[in-house]
Chain A
Amino acid sequence: GQQLNQSPQSMFIQEGEDVSMNCTSSSIFNTWLWYKQDPGEGPVLLIALYKAGELTSNGRLTAQFGITRKDSFLNISASIPSDVGIYFCAGQRGYSTLTFGKGTMLLVSP
């Protein structure tokens, strides 16, 4: 099946630091999405990207749709403790299903 390579697998940072994570694929996707999962809950959509080169922000979060359509990046600025969780990228090719990356676990030290 399709593979999404997400990195890093985990990050342990101090409050106030900026965070970057990315996702790459050998296949082209038409849509890239970024989700966050809090412990014991299901993933929640953070940002959706539709066009190659698109840069979209949601508060302190900024995501970009790579120009080749095979990658995407998520940046979190000035991290806070509630940013803790697992961040997933997901790509869509067909009209109804998503392929998820393996996730980046983020830990933030106060």
Chain B
Amino acid sequence: NAGVTQTPKFRVLKTGQSMTLLCAQDMNHEYMYWYRQDPGMGLRLIHYSVGEGTTAKGEVPDGYNVSRLKKQNFLLGLESAAPSQTSVYFCASRAQGAVGNQPQHFGDGTRLSIL
């Protein structure tokens, strides 16, 4: 059981380039999330989805877009990468129900550097 898989694990981009981060979960979870983690800032929610075909903005959505065309996949796009988007990106998913009984399961992260 792979859980939450993030692709790629590392990437270096130039300013202005675009790319898509892929998150895949094999647990049939309804909810999926994208976070970014910066030193001293903890985890900040970018976008999330409560089901296939739905997305919503989190705390820091600017400069990112997402899509949830299939229940198992949640894509995070950077249309025009900026150095301020250098970060470690985490995807998480969870089943419906109380958040403690159905905790968020995290992937191992994607380390993105933008030059």
Contact = CB atoms under 8 A, between A and B. Distances in A.
B44 A100 contact: yes
Interface stretch (A36-44, A67-75, A77-85): A36-44
Nearest to B111: A40
A103 B100 contact: no
B56 to A, nearest CB: 8
Nearest to B49: A96
A42 B31 contact: no
Contacts of A31: 98-100
Interface string B81-92: 000000000101
Interface residue range, chain A:
20 to 34
A98 interface: yes
A1 interface: yes
Contacts of A41: 106, 108-109
Interface in B55-105: 58-59, 90, 92, 98-101, 103-104
Nearest to B38: A102
Interface in A1-22: 1, 4, 6, 9
Interface of A: 1, 4, 6, 9, 31, 33, 40-45, 48-50, 88, 92, 96-103
23 contacts: A1-B59, A6-B42, A9-B40, A31-B98, A40-B109, A41-B109, A42-B4, A42-B107, A42-B108, A43-B43, A44-B106, A45-B103, A48-B100, A50-B98, A88-B42, A96-B48, A97-B33, A97-B45, A98-B45, A100-B42, A100-B43, A102-B40, A103-B42
